[in-house]
């Protein structure tokens, strides 16, 4: 009896091995083929058709997307490279924005210690560096008076404002559209009337499948590229107020609100770069004045009050909150 039972067990084991052999060499390739066919039928980004748009439509699209974001807050990590940076090379941060021009950037160490607090409003800025016990306030037009730290913070602001929404075309600006394969380049000029000697102030690059801005060049008055900001890893975000991620499109099709979760800014003057990776983006949340760095009585006017119109404006001084 034992021999028959053991023989039966051996036969069952052989049968199982034979089943595995059949599946591996015959059924598995067929199963993989079906899976690959199913995946190929899914609509990926590369399969979306190229869309056509005029310069006027792209200008309208920028205006619409910027208007759709009344406020925003997000968490990010940023890696900074370059000289003259008195903060850690890798920084965790938070951003708060409320239209039209209130922006706050805060940077922290991995342990939660505050590294910097930058507040922008009404054409003024206030930068506080708690670890150094310093604070600087002044006009945005005199940003360079910060010294060596001005460039990395300027790149950070350009990166964040691009994530909020590319600055729309002003009424006193004109544009020309250039088609380059699967991209459009919108050249922005500061003068309304064409001039033979005029140079563009910005280049805005759109990919032509979803018409998302993937690059923005900031140019000097002589036409040289001052900085380049690249936008990647677009993901849908939800309006905190409406609970939806869809808005009407300016080019005739629904436009899902997408935001870049990776932004890289390059200083083309040779002074460094930064890469900002967002962990969370929430659009149109209610924001308190404290979150915008404008809390307290008369907080909205603090930036102006901190910037006296004297020759000492823009100089470092001790942080009174230290």
Q: Is the dihedral angle over the CA atoms 230, 235, 238, 244 positive or is it negative?
A: positive
Helix (H) or strand (E) holding 214: strand 213-219
Question: Distance between alpha carbon 78 and the CA centroid of its chain, in Å?
Answer: 11
Backbone angles phi, psi at 150, to 5 degrees: -65, -40
- Position with higher pLDDT, 246 vs 290: 290
Question: What proportion of the chain, given as a percentage, has pLDDT over 90?
Answer: 47
Strand partners for 266: 228, 273
Q: What is the pLDDT of residue 112?
A: 84
Give residue 312's pLDDT.
44
User: How many of the other CB atoms lie within 10 Å of CB of 74?
Assistant: 22
On average, the pLDDT of the chain sits at 77
Largest CA distance in the chain: 108
Confidence of residue 269 (pLDDT cuts 50, 70, 90): confident
Does residue 301 carry a pLDDT above 80? no
pLDDT tens digits, 70-104: 999 999 999 888 765 555 478 999 999 999 899 99
76: closest CA among 217, 265, 243? 265
CB 282 within 8 A of CB 72: yes
Q: Are strands 183-189 and 225-236 parallel, antiparallel or unpaired?
A: unpaired
Is the Cα torsion angle 301, 287, 314, 322 positive or negative in sign?
A: positive
Residue pair 121/157 in contact (Cβ under 8 Å)? The answer is: no
Burial class (CB in 10 A: 0-12, 13-18, 19+), 160: buried
Run of H or E residues at 186: strand 183-189
Among left, alpha and beta (phi > 0; psi -120 to 50; other), residue 23 is alpha
Average pLDDT over residues 102-130: 92
């Amino acid at each position: 009896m034992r021999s028959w039972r053991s023989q039966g067990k051996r036969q069952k084991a052989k049968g199982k091995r034979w089943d595995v052999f059949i599946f591996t060499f015959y059924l598995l390739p067929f199963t993989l083929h079906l899976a690959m066919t199913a995946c190929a039928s899914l609509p990926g980004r590369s399969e979306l058709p190229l869309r056509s748009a005029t310069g006027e439509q792209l200008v309208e699209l920028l205006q619409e997307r910027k208007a759709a974001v009344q406020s925003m807050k997000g968490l990010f990590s940023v890696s900074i490279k370059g000289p003259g940076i008195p903060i850690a090379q890798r920084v965790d941060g938070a951003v708060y924005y409320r239209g039209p021009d209130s922006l706050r950037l805060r940077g922290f160490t991995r342990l939660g210690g505050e590294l910097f607090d930058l507040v922008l409003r009404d054409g003024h800025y206030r930068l506080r560096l708690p670890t150094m016990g310093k604070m600087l306030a002044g006009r945005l037009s005199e940003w360079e008076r910060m010294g060596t730290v001005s460039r990395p913070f300027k790149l950070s602001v350009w990166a964040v404002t691009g994530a909020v929404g590319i600055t729309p075309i002003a009424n006193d600006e004109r544009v020309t559209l250039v088609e380059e394969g699967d991209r459009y380049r919108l050249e922005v000029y500061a003068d309304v009337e064409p001039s033979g000697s005029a140079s563009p102030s910005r280049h805005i690059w759109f990919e032509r499948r979803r018409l998302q801005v993937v690059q923005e060049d900031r140019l000097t008055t002589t036409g040289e590229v001052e900085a380049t900001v690249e936008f990647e890893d677009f993901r849908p975000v939800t309006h905190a107020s409406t609970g939806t991620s869809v808005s009407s499109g300016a080019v005739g099709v629904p436009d899902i609100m997408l935001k870049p979760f990776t932004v890289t800014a390059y200083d083309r003057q040779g002074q460094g770069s930064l890469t900002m990776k967002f962990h969370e983006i929430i659009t149109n949340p209610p924001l308190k004045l404290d979150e915008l760095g404008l809390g307290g009585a008369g907080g909205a006017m603090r930036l102006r009050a901190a910037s006296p119109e004297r020759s000492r404006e823009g100089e470092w001084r001790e942080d009174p909150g230290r």
